[in-house]
Structure 1
Amino acid sequence: MGNCIICGADTEGHICQSHEEDVVFEFRGNSPDQLVENRFYRGVVDGYADFGVFVDLSSNVTGLLHRSELDGRLESLDWEAGDTVFVQVKNVRDNGNVDLTSSIRQADREFRGTLIQDGTEELLPEDEEEVEEGNGRERDVEATTGDEEESTPAETDGSGAEAATAAEDAQEAEPEPVETTTEEPAAADTEETPAGAEPEEPTRRDIGELSDRVGEEVRIEGEVVSARQTGGPTVFELRDETGVVDCAAFVEAGVRAYPEIEVGDIVRLDGEVEIRREELQVETEALVELDGEERETVERRLAEALTARARPDEPTLVAEDDAVAAADEHLLDAAEAIRRAVFESRPIVVRHAATADGYIAGVALERAILPMVREEHAESDAEYHYVNRRPLEEAVYEMNDATNDVTSMLQDRDRHDEKLPLVVLAGTASTVESEDGLEMLGIYGAKRVVVDAAPADPEIADASEVLVNPDADGLSTGALASSLATTVSPEVREEIAHLPAVSYWQDTPDSYLDAAREAGFDEEAVTELREAIALEAFYQSYDEKRELIGDLLFGESPEAVAAGAPEDAAESETLAGHIATQFREKMDTEVETAEANIERSESEGVEIAVLDTEEYTHKYDFPPSSLLLDELHRRGDADVTIGIAMDELWVRADTDVDLREVAREAASNAPNAGLSAAGLREGRIEFLSGAREEVEIAVVGAVVEQFD
């Protein structure tokens, strides 16, 4: 038993349970499992990412302070790499990832005490000082004894008799004296080499075989793909034709080693292979940039290996689909671009619309990329560095979105020496309204892949490196992106086989329903997933919600089962079922209100239903107007359903409507209304609010003309 250092109460250690959050701990452990949740720890800033800050809690344990845990914006933090900060451990995951939350106390003096956690043992600072002093005395004793090993027992045992006996034994054991001097180690055992001989160089090894070379001195040749400064060493990430590895180079804490070496340089590195934080790392001893023929040789070797690894032999489809199969070369081009980015250690940003179809497309690609990143990179948090899925609130990649992406990628390049990303746009950016945004990415050298089942404008082929856009009716982007995902990584097919069926609101192809059934999802389960994703896509539409979406679509956490189930339920309902119930309740309520306020008319044999969404919907609640209009048109019997708000309207029709032509025709009849087709995928037209009545008449007339 001990006493609490704050209140003096009896306790097992140095702090009682009620005051545990009043002290800050200095962590000396080597495993995340040793951390105690809710404790405050002193840490060192390791680096930044889009989603938060990495903080070293010890030399072997790093945690993530997610941006959602900050009181302000991530950009407002003035922390630099190497700064001491104070954080609280929120959670230690099964995979060893540590979730941190911020502390309002950012100085030792703001806590009521300080303790040291050495593994699972807790020490007072003065206790550790005593240990260090004891170790120091032992070292002093060793220093004074020198090579006089015969006298050591006398000094340490404290017994004259024992010392004398030991001395006599030593004398008896001595061999006959010979004429000799203290010998230097044999040449094979010393770093020195005989005069005139060349120093022995380490053997060049492939990064892919380093796990079998722990403890060996090796030479690596490859490309520097990132360089980050930690509170201790500089960490260079080096890629060759077989993989990627972190290489730590130390000058002094927080000082950039080899400042002349930059991202993209072709280098030769000598060092010792070791395991650090349970991950492979090379302790750098020498690092030089290659030039001339040596550089060309390595570059050629990397390029040939990369091309061979990156391009799949043939497409791998989730299910039989002639339209997708017809786009095989484009699928292979897109898959090669994605795989190449992973092998080049280039970040991948996946942009998709914040709809059920958009989320399915984005998640399918994410599920294919993540395992490749984990396999390619030794560090456990690599997936957070190299894969970033960002939903778009609109189904257009506008200049605002491009500006955000460019700002983010330039910050990552300057702050973390990251390569510029590959941007994959799924279910968006296929129309000319996205051309400016795509070209802005291109100006800065970011590569673009556009994947969309909706018809693409010709300009987009020139504004992107790869365009996957089959000429097919009734294909969802979720289905198209899923087959791209399985082409990128065929082993994920079984995992994502149900996703294409989830992406369809109606007229789901039988091949995708069959694939979902084989994966264990009947039509009811598929419907629940679709509705649950649609509801969650509406909330915080700009956020990826990776963990929640994973729970919904793949049931990846125990909490995903029985979440929110009524207490008196005979059987626990799934998370998807619970959220789908909310979807239906909210949708049914809104549809009922809307149907009671629809104005119906007929023109040239075309039945028209018009809803004033400004007056008869909850503007900032679920469902959004676009989704509501979809549902109203599915349930209704009108040929055309139109929703009109203050300065925008939505068109739904039983025939294929050329929205641009509708906008042009309507503009000719309402020339001062500022009409434009703002969102082709969602059937949305924008106009000036002062011309609302004039616009409604003009648009209805233009739509009816397309029924001829």
Structure 2
Amino acid sequence: MGSCIICGVDVDGGGRICRSHQEDVVFDFRGDSPDQLVANRFYRGVVDGYAEFGVFIDLAPGVTGLLHRSELDRRLDSLEWEPGDDVFVQVKGVRDNGNIDLSWSIRQADREFRGALVQDGETEYVPGEDADEDETADDADEEPEATPDAAGNERSEETDAAVAAAVSGSSGNSDDSDDTEVNADETAADETTAEETDANETTAEETDANETTTEETEADETAADETTVEGSDEADDADAEYERVDIETLPDLVDETVRLEGEVVSTRQTGGPTIFELRDATGVVDAAAFVEPGVRAYPEVEVGDAIRIDGEVERRRGDIQVETEALAVLEGEEAEAVRRRLAEALTAKARPEGLQPLAGDEAVAELGEGLLDAAEAVRRAVLESRPVVVRHPATADGYVAGAAVERAVLPLIRDEHAKSDAEYHYFTRRPTEEPVYDMDAATNDVTRMLQDRDRHDEKLPLFLLVGTGSTVESADGLDLLSVYDVEAVVVDAAVADPETREQVDTLVSPELADVDDDLSTGALAASLASAINDEIRSDLVHLPAVSYWADAPDRYVDLARDAGYDRERIAELREAVALEAYYQSYQDKRELIADLLFEDGGDLAAHVSEQFREKLETEIETASANVVTESVDGVEFALLDTDEYTHRFDFPPTPLLLDDLHRRRANGDAFATVGIGTDELYVRSTADLSVREVAARADEIAPAADVSTAGLREGKIGFLSGERDAVEDAVVAAIAEQF
């Protein structure tokens, strides 16, 4: 029985990784059959070549899999892999015919995995170990066969293996071969000395000499251990040699030895070195420290410690990394000086200089302080290496708002972090399928953030909720976040409740600031994005117009037209985003949405928009033929049974269908559209109705139905399905009372 290289628990069958950590380790496959591969594991591979439908990856000689283009997180033609490149992929499965299905791995560097193993057929072992080590452990009492060394003394096979490893420079991590060679040389020297002592016991002088050599070796090892533990002594000795530099200067200092001071952002153990992510006032960089493969270097160092590192600047797979030669945890005045530099730089860099609303929107300007607070929170999170999680509704307006913030934040992350894939680690956009930030969404978020904290030593994120989370219907979800004391910022142009102020750190909404104007969340978020990063302002100017379904304010229409987006083009973008927002609504579709809103020359949006119109017209035709009209107290109603006369599990979603149906049929000041399903209904009205008051009154009229507001933004009301007919009558009566 083996033990897990990450957590140490016993593993059945002699394996070296437990079930819960299978996806934290990367494997070098040295088998000869696809059947030996294990599904869901990550493997190192080599790019073999491209096809129209994907990339072929060699996992071992004669063992090749296909990474289909549908598994990529970007377009196939934007993939920068070349034949012969080392890459990392996940095995989805092996088909009966031996074909290997692969999926994309966001981790494309050794240091991003917590460990590394070799899989030789069905045998697993740590790189650098003998593949049969586990099998021979039970035979440890047997004397190894001895062979004479160059001096005629006997030497064991174990010693030969150590010397061979030292000569060949083999290690489990190619990035750390120099360090491994040094350790292998020392190990071989120690073992050879011990063997020579045993082989020459008959000669007193040789015995004395060997004992002296052993004592000297032990003294040297003790001194080396003390140097590792007391890293500060080594760092102090180097004061005259190295001058402290800023992380932002490291790209110009490759192959030079430098000194860095900063705060530990995260630590992670790979199959080779320990990786310390270090942040100073100018940026973040990875520092690799090596003891031996898979062994934690400087175990006394914790996240949040102020440290000093001396090491050589290197470039690994295009990323800047520091190979640590000495590390010291700073205390007292030295630690305080580091933290003071960080705090001063953070304050100076986090607060935007001011807010310049897009199109000079005066309504947005009135919300300026709140938007600046929100922008500062986002910028501070980036500077503190805290992930930013953006939540928004899976609607056209929601996607426009989320994409605007994404466009602003990603360049800041790239500037702050040396790792080329940092933007995928430190920014996440998660659309919500429901109109509120409910317990389902909050539980998902908390589960992910705790996994990232415990498995990858990540800091707890900042949550930015745009177009959701501003009403009391989100109270339970927000309360769950607050248990972990995470920062939450809410920006919503449509609806908000004063009670939400107490549950979040920053709340921006026109409804709470006596600002009376027709703002969309997309328009508000676009101005927020320009405050976060003014350098991308020109990318955002057309977004506010895209975010309105009808009657976009002239100021935004003119702004978009000046940037080359006429009304037809704006409509195409809006409809294309709405269609893509519906499918895989829980996915961010980062590259696809960016292509539509920022990169598309016209063909993609026009194509998707055409699909949108065809699907919507088909559904509108069916719905219109089955609308029931009636008049109650002078109010005209259009009633639609959405269970019977819509395709509930295909595009368009019910709220979007009812929006369009209502716009087409409204023929006066007193007109309402009600779409009723099994246990929920949606209200649309020409009057300024209070959905909460409608739900409350309907609950009084039909007390057995448990009527309640399910979403203010979408005019959604929930009820018990058994009281459906009573609820329909009650809601119609309640609406008529409000006209």
TM-score (norm 2): 0.70
Task: Report SS of the residue matched to 1:541.
Answer: coil
> Counterparts of 1:422 and 1:305 in 2: how far apart (Å)?
19
Deviation at 1:511, TM superposition (A): 1.6
Task: Say which of 353, 363, 366 aligns to 1:323.
Answer: 363
> Counterparts of 2:86 and 2:276 in 1: how far apart (Å)?
17
Deviation at 1:266, TM superposition (A): 1.6
Structure 2: gaps spanning 5 or more residues? 1-31, 38-42, 64-70, 74-80, 111-117, 123-163, 169-232
> Counterparts of 2:695 and 2:329 in 1: how far apart (Å)?
59
Structure 1's 87 and 313: CA in aligned 2 closer, same or farther, altered over 3 A? Answer: farther
Counterpart in the other structure of 1:163: none
Counterpart in the other structure of 2:592: 548
> Counterparts of 2:238 and 2:416 in 1: how far apart (Å)?
36
Task: Report SS of the residue matched to 2:703.
Answer: coil
> Counterparts of 1:603 and 1:396 in 2: how far apart (Å)?
31
Deviation at 1:608, TM superposition (A): 1.1
Task: Report SS of the residue matched to 2:344.
Answer: helix
> Counterparts of 1:199 and 1:322 in 2: how far apart (Å)?
56
The answer to whether structure 1 residue 410 and structure 2 residue 450 are counterparts is yes
Let me know the Cα RMSD of the aligned residues. 3.6
The answer to whether structure 1 residue 275 and structure 2 residue 315 are counterparts is yes
Greater displacement, 409-418 / 604-613: 604-613
Amino acid at match of 2:621: E
Counterpart in the other structure of 1:702: 734
TM-score (norm 1): 0.73
Task: Report SS of the residue matched to 2:630.
Answer: strand
Counterpart in the other structure of 1:152: none
Greater displacement, 545-554 / 502-511: 545-554
> Counterparts of 1:264 and 1:387 in 2: how far apart (Å)?
21
Deviation at 1:108, TM superposition (A): 5.0
Amino acid at match of 1:666: A
8 Å Cα contact 1:233-1:254 kept in structure 2: yes
The answer to whether structure 1 residue 615 and structure 2 residue 644 are counterparts is yes
Deviations 1:15-39 (CA, angstroms, capped at 9, x unpaired): xxxx999999x9899x999999402
The answer to whether structure 1 residue 677 and structure 2 residue 721 are counterparts is no
Deviations 1:392-439 (CA, angstroms, capped at 9, x unpaired): 001100111111111100100111000000011111001011122112
Counterpart in the other structure of 1:584: 613
Counterpart in the other structure of 2:622: 593
Deviations 1:538-592 (CA, angstroms, capped at 9, x unpaired): 1111111112112222236xxxx7xxxxxxxxxxx71111111111111111111
8 Å Cα contact 2:44-2:86 kept in structure 1: no
Amino acid at match of 1:486: S
Task: Say which of 244, 248, 267 aligns to 1:204.
Answer: 244
List aligned pairs for 1:128-527, cutoff 5 A: 200-470=240-510, 471-527=515-571
8 Å Cα contact 1:37-1:91 kept in structure 2: no
Task: Say which of 625, 628, 637 aligns to 2:654.
Answer: 625
Greater displacement, 270-279 / 627-636: 270-279
Seq. identity, %: 57
Task: Report SS of the residue matched to 1:672.
Answer: helix
Structure 1's 662 and 649: CA in aligned 2 closer, same or farther, altered over 3 A? Answer: same
Structure 1's 63 and 401: CA in aligned 2 closer, same or farther, altered over 3 A? Answer: farther
Task: Report SS of the residue matched to 1:264.
Answer: coil
> Counterparts of 2:100 and 2:599 in 1: how far apart (Å)?
31
The answer to whether structure 1 residue 652 and structure 2 residue 681 are counterparts is no
Deviation at 1:63, TM superposition (A): 4.2
> Counterparts of 1:579 and 1:28 in 2: how far apart (Å)?
36
> Counterparts of 2:56 and 2:35 in 1: how far apart (Å)?
11
Structure 1's 248 and 695: CA in aligned 2 closer, same or farther, altered over 3 A? Answer: same
Task: Report SS of the residue matched to 2:481.
Answer: helix
Task: Report SS of the residue matched to 1:649.
Answer: strand
8 Å Cα contact 2:435-2:711 kept in structure 1: yes
Structure 1's 669 and 62: CA in aligned 2 closer, same or farther, altered over 3 A? Answer: farther
8 Å Cα contact 1:647-1:686 kept in structure 2: yes
> Counterparts of 1:514 and 1:655 in 2: how far apart (Å)?
29
Counterpart in the other structure of 1:139: none
> Counterparts of 1:685 and 1:353 in 2: how far apart (Å)?
17
> Counterparts of 1:41 and 1:574 in 2: how far apart (Å)?
38
Counterpart in the other structure of 2:718: 686
> Counterparts of 1:608 and 1:523 in 2: how far apart (Å)?
32
Amino acid at match of 1:360: V
8 Å Cα contact 1:227-1:236 kept in structure 2: yes
Deviations 1:26-85 (CA, angstroms, capped at 9, x unpaired): 9899x9999994022269xxxxxxx999xxx99x9774647xx7469xxxxxxxxxxxxx
8 Å Cα contact 2:44-2:88 kept in structure 1: no
> Counterparts of 2:306 and 2:561 in 1: how far apart (Å)?
50
Deviations 1:294-316 (CA, angstroms, capped at 9, x unpaired): 22221121111101000011013
Amino acid at match of 1:700: V
> Counterparts of 2:359 and 2:48 in 1: how far apart (Å)?
42
Task: Report SS of the residue matched to 2:56.
Answer: coil
Structure 1's 426 and 542: CA in aligned 2 closer, same or farther, altered over 3 A? Answer: same
8 Å Cα contact 2:72-2:103 kept in structure 1: no
Amino acid at match of 2:458: E
8 Å Cα contact 1:312-1:488 kept in structure 2: yes
Amino acid at match of 1:41: L
Counterpart in the other structure of 1:164: none
Deviation at 1:318, TM superposition (A): 2.5
Amino acid at match of 2:707: L
8 Å Cα contact 1:598-1:611 kept in structure 2: yes
Counterpart in the other structure of 1:41: 59
Structure 1's 465 and 63: CA in aligned 2 closer, same or farther, altered over 3 A? Answer: farther
Counterpart in the other structure of 1:531: 575
8 Å Cα contact 1:224-1:263 kept in structure 2: yes
Deviation at 1:91, TM superposition (A): 8.7
Task: Say which of 604, 607, 627 aligns to 1:575.
Answer: 604
Counterpart in the other structure of 2:699: 667
Counterpart in the other structure of 2:6: none
Amino acid at match of 1:578: H
8 Å Cα contact 1:21-1:38 kept in structure 2: no
8 Å Cα contact 1:216-1:272 kept in structure 2: yes
Greater displacement, 547-556 / 486-495: 547-556
> Counterparts of 2:716 and 2:438 in 1: how far apart (Å)?
15
Deviations 1:294-345 (CA, angstroms, capped at 9, x unpaired): 2222112111110100001101323221111111101110110000111111
Structure 1: gaps spanning 5 or more residues? 1-18, 44-50, 73-85, 99-105, 111-131, 137-192, 562-572
Deviation at 1:670, TM superposition (A): 0.8
8 Å Cα contact 1:222-1:240 kept in structure 2: yes
Amino acid at match of 1:602: S
8 Å Cα contact 1:453-1:472 kept in structure 2: no
Counterpart in the other structure of 2:129: none
Deviations 1:476-522 (CA, angstroms, capped at 9, x unpaired): 00110111011100111111221111110011011211222222211
8 Å Cα contact 2:45-2:57 kept in structure 1: no
8 Å Cα contact 1:40-1:88 kept in structure 2: no
8 Å Cα contact 1:38-1:90 kept in structure 2: no
